[in-house]
Each structure stands twice: as C-alpha cells, then as structure tokens.
Amino acid sequence: MPFINRDFINDLSNRVDIVGLINKRVPLKKAGKDYKACCPFHEEKTPSFTVVPSKQIFHCFGCGESGGAIDFIKKFDHLDFVAAVEAVAGESGISVVYDKNVKPIDASFKRFNALMTKVNDYYKSRLKDSSSKSKVVSYAKKRGISGEIARRFELGYAEEGWVNLYENYIDDEQAISDLEKMGLLVLKKDKKSDYYDRFRNRLIFPIHNAKGNVIAFGGRVLKDKDSPKYLNSPETPLFSKSNELYGLYHCRKYSRRIDYILVVEGYMDVIALHQQGITCAVATMGTATTPNHLKILSRSTDTIVFCFDGDNAGRAAAWKALQTSLSMITSGLIIKFLLLPEGEDPDTMIKRESPTLFSRRIEEAQTLSSFLFEHIKSEVQFETIEGKTQFLEKASALIHQVSYQVYKQQLIEGVAKIIGQDVIHVEKAINQNKPVGQYTSDDISTDQRSSTENQEDNITDPVRTRNINMKGLMSKMISYILNYPSLANDVVEERAKHLPESKVLMELIHSAQIDSDITKDLLIQPFENKIKIYKRLQELSVMEPFLSENEAKDEFLSALTAAEKQQERKRTSKDISSAKTNAEEKKIMDDIRRRKTPNL
C-alpha cells in the first residue's frame, strides 16, 4: 500500500470542490447557501442529505452520515482510505504526493503494470479486429453476454496459434522477460530462448485488482470439449490467487449499495449476474476461499453469501468454505450459504428464473449455523444414541474453532437443543476438543494476543477492530484521544457517554474539547494521584505507527462503532438465546445486521 504524504491529505480537502464531487454521483439541488438531495446512504423520500460548501462537508439528518469529500467518496464508491484520496485528487485534477522514503515501489512493478495494460489492449483489439473473431463473438452471444457487459469486463480474445503475442514483442528482450514473469509466455522445454503463448484460442478475461489494474488473465475455451476449460495466469509478482477475487473491482464500481457480496465459482457466473443487474458478485480463481479472501470481503460488506452449484462438488466446496469461515467470524459479520438445485449454476439459474427470484434466493440463503447442523446431521445416523454422540463430537470439533465468543455460545446452545442435552454438557465436550497449547479467548485477553501480531495490521485492520474486546477498544480510543486530541467533539462525547466504563475516556474527551492543542502530559495530569490509571495512560500515550489526522479519525471512529456494536450485541444476545426456531434466530440476526449505528 502506498503511503500518501500527510500534509497533502490535510491540505486536500481545502483544494477540492465537494459540491462538484458529490453532484457527479448524486444530483444536488440548491437550497439557500447549501445543497440538498435524497440521501444515498439510506432510503428516504424527502431530502435530508445536505452539502455545505462553506464548510466543505456533507451531513444527513436522517441517518447521521457526515464528513468531508474523502469520507463521501470512500463510502459511496466503496473504497479504502488511500484509494478514496487518490479518487478525490484524480477527479479534481490534483496529483497525489506520496511519501517516497516510506516504501519505495519496485521499478519493475511499474513496468509490469504498464505491460499488462498493453497486453490487455492487445487481447481486446483481437476481439474487435481478428479475422477469426466471429466464432468468439458467437460464443459470447450464445452465453448471453451483451456488448456492454463485454466492455465492462474488458473481454478479449487470444487467437489460435502458438506465437501471436510472442511475435509482437520478439525484438524487445525486456518485454519478453517480463511476459515470462507474468506467465503470458512460456519457455519451450529444452530450449533457452524459444517461447510460446500461454493463452491460445480462448476468450480472455482480464483479472483486475481492487484498484482496477490488470494483474492477470483467465481464458476460457470456445468449445466445451476442449480442455482445460478455464486457464489462469500462474502466480506472479502481481498476482496471487489467494489474495484476489475476480469481480471485486466491478462490484465496488457498479454497485450503488453493497448489502451483501455473493461468492460464486467462476468468471462466467460473475458476468452473467452483472448481465442481469446483480453486481455484488465475486469469484475465487481456481482455489477455495481463503481466510484472506474473507478478510478482504469483510472490508466491503457485512454479509457474505457463498453460492455453490447443487452437485456433490458444490456441496463439498460449500462445506470447505464453512470450515474456513468459522475462525473468521467476528461481531457484525454474517456468513450464509446458497446451494442451488442439482445441475444449476448461477448463470443457468438466473436465466431460467428471473433476477427477482434469484435475489430472493440470496435473501433467503441458509445461515451458517443452520448449514453446519444440517450437514453434520446428514453424516451420522442421528436417530441413534451413537449418532447423536457422533453429532456432538463432530460439532464440537468445529465449534471449538470459532473465536467470536458470543457466536460460539449461540452454536453451543444450538447443539444442546438439537441433541436434547444440557448446555454445560456440550460446553464440556467442546473444551475437551481444545488442542493442547492452543489458547481460546478465555485464556488470554485479546489485548495481549493482538500485541503479538503485527502492530500495523492490528491498528489499521477493521476486522481486527471487530475482534478486540471492550477493554481493548477502550484502550484504543483513549490512545487516539491522547495522541489526537482534536478528535474530541460533542458527537463523540455523546456517543462515548453511553459506553460501559467510559469514565476515563469521558474525562479525556472533555479536557480535549476545551483545548484541542492540549499536550499528552497535560491531558493525563488530572490522574496523577490514581497511580494505576496514570501508568496505563502513560503507556497508551505512546503510539505507533504514525497516522495522518484523517486516518486517526477513521480508526478512532471504527473503534467507537465497534464498542457500540459490542454493547448492543450483549444486550441482544439474550434475545438470540431465547429464539426457539431457525426462523426466529434468522430474524434476530437480520435485525442486528440492519440496525444502524450512527456515524460521524
């Protein structure tokens, strides 16, 4: 991730026109000195979304969303902080100033990126101009891909023949060496300088990273009898299958809101769904879903829906995805499963039904817990005592991997209900399943655990924020206020007031509000007589890494929101445990998901 110069970020909001930036996305109407529109972040009929040019901010009186130009673009375009800054600057014709001394970008990466763009243009041009393009055009038509969608995904064509791409670069040694590194040219066995093209006679799908750069290609045969049906670029310095999701860039770019992300099996599924107006879909590329994929997805959505074909392979893949998900579930993240009827995939299904019916299937997808229990039940002879014992053992082994305590407890209670046993009995079985030497979060406070991990990751990763307990979140917020007293304001004070054990934080916010330039030492001075607290505050006042004011604000607010959510969840966990049926549980989980925490 590039590091953007701190002064540049601070200065950027003074140099851009927030009205122009927002108006491009949400048409604004002038209302006195300000501008108004219906809010893009919540459903409404009368406009309560206001843009105030004199302050260069927006605010919605309906849902509480507010902030500056970068905040708006981040939320509306579903971008991370750096990408949002780049977008705001780019659209305003300002070039971004990076901190060059922080992380020098390898010069070869620039070259690789430029080359991939060129190769992508080449494949696209072949789809337009090749003499044999008619067979690929008719294939695309047969699959129902419109010209518009083909352009959206920048589809291309690799012609028949072994050296079409190679011959384009035959005189350029550097390019040939780079193309080999990118996996697009393959060195012939036993020869030292003779190459052939990896992709031949295939429909080409460029693979974009989250920023929209082409980092790899996938190719599909035009006749089903040819094999392999799909071929991907190998792992390269730009492309790692376990870190990339096909369609994520398009999902962010073309979705108005991301209420969920559907994880499907192939490129064609993603494209077919876009064709039918469902833009929140991504596909893994020849690999099972990895924890990293889940981490990436959870930055864009609260609900991940795995969608698999209803055959045995699909069920096995879904089960594998479930196993990967268990340890990744955090507060606020919902994982669901949609298994299609036998013989169907999203592409065929959505064409046979309708987008509306397919969307309903997504809404009604099975919860993780329901899929978990159903699957284990199908593996044992449940009606017998032995079967129930096996059920308990199998469920315990899986539940023990869940680190999110509230959810773990729900699963334990679910198992108890299904086998008609005491919760205590089930808990015991799960604890027996705990491998020696492995901690659960009961053994060690999350605070300590996270300090052994990469410090930067810990501070900037929103998934981590979700994992930290209330005490950890409180420490985090205190540390931010000590280091960035200007974060304190009325809204923050009002929100923090309702959190449990927020007395110290409240006092700090109060002092910081009176003087936003106050030093750390002055802030903690009132606690001098309370030795324990004073020492802890001194520890918390030391902070790394160095963040910009805006990044710090983001981090602080995400901790505040996480703390509010945790408190709310504690309140609702009673409701969940009283749910008697799957439908009730689903309703409560959905209510939790829908409940919005006001943002600043």
For residues 114-143, which are near Zn ion according to CB under 5 A? none
- By CB under 5 A, the count of residues binding Zn ion is 6
Give the nearer residue to Zn ion in terms of CB position, either 19 or 119. Answer: 19
Could you tell me which residues come within 8 angstroms of residue 360 by beta carbon, excluding any fewer than 6 positions away?
none
For residues 49-68, which are near Zn ion according to CB under 5 A? 60, 62-63
Give the nearer residue to Zn ion in terms of CB position, either 255 or 396. Answer: 255
Q: How far is the CB of 48 from Zn ion (least distance, A)?
A: 6
Give the nearer residue to Zn ion in terms of CB position, either 38 or 397. Answer: 38
The yes or no reply on residue 419 touching Zn ion (CB under 5 A) is no
Q: List the Cα angle 443/401/333 in 5-degree steps.
A: 100
Strand partners, 308: 339
Give the nearer residue to Zn ion in terms of CB position, either 566 or 599. Answer: 599
Q: How far is the CB of 428 from Zn ion (least distance, A)?
A: 48
The yes or no reply on residue 238 touching Zn ion (CB under 5 A) is no
The yes or no reply on residue 41 touching Zn ion (CB under 5 A) is yes
For residues 299-318, which are near Zn ion according to CB under 5 A? none
Q: How far is the CB of 38 from Zn ion (least distance, A)?
A: 9
In eight-state DSSP terms, residue 242 is G
Alpha-carbon distance of 437 to 471, in angstroms, equals 25
Rounded to 5 degrees, what are φ and ψ at 28? -105, 150
In eight-state DSSP terms, residue 486 is G
Q: How far is the CB of 70 from Zn ion (least distance, A)?
A: 18
| Helices 405-419 and 368-379: angle between axes, nearest 10 degrees | 40
Task: Provide the token pair at 244.
Answer: 């990339």
The yes or no reply on residue 39 touching Zn ion (CB under 5 A) is yes
Q: How far is the CB of 594 from Zn ion (least distance, A)?
A: 14
Could you tell me which residues come within 8 angstroms of residue 527 by beta carbon, excluding any fewer than 6 positions away?
504, 533, 534, 537
Q: How far is the CB of 72 from Zn ion (least distance, A)?
A: 12
Give the nearer residue to Zn ion in terms of CB position, either 42 or 449. Answer: 42
Give the nearer residue to Zn ion in terms of CB position, either 44 or 507. Answer: 44
Q: How far is the CB of 33 from Zn ion (least distance, A)?
A: 20
* Per-residue CA distances from 587 to 417, 465, 575, 594 (Å): 18, 26, 11, 10
Give the nearer residue to Zn ion in terms of CB position, either 63 or 97. Answer: 63
Alpha-carbon distance of 132 to 333, in angstroms, equals 48
Q: How far is the CB of 562 from Zn ion (least distance, A)?
A: 21
Give the residue from 391, 437, 443 showing the smallest Cα distance to 415. 391
Rounded to 5 degrees, what are φ and ψ at 74? -55, -45
Give the nearer residue to Zn ion in terms of CB position, either 55 or 100. Answer: 55
For residues 482-521, which are near Zn ion according to CB under 5 A? none
Q: How far is the CB of 42 from Zn ion (least distance, A)?
A: 4
Question: What is the DSSP track for 6-57?
Answer: HHHHHHHHHHS-HHHHHHTTS--EEETTEEEE--SSS--SS--EEEETTTTE
Look at the alpha carbons of 252, 255, 256, 257 in this order and tell me if their dihedral is positive or negative. Answer: negative
Which of 36, 42, 181, 434 lies at the binding interface for Zn ion (CB under 5 A)? 42
| Interface region with Zn ion, contact rule CB under 5 A, candidates 41-49, 73-81, 135-143, 419-427 | 41-49
Give the nearer residue to Zn ion in terms of CB position, either 66 or 276. Answer: 66
| Interface region with Zn ion, contact rule CB under 5 A, candidates 35-43, 83-91, 94-102, 374-382 | 35-43
| Helices 291-298 and 312-326: angle between axes, nearest 10 degrees | 70
The yes or no reply on residue 47 touching Zn ion (CB under 5 A) is no
Judged by the rule CB under 5 A, the positions of this chain that interact with Zn ion are: 39, 41-42, 60, 62-63
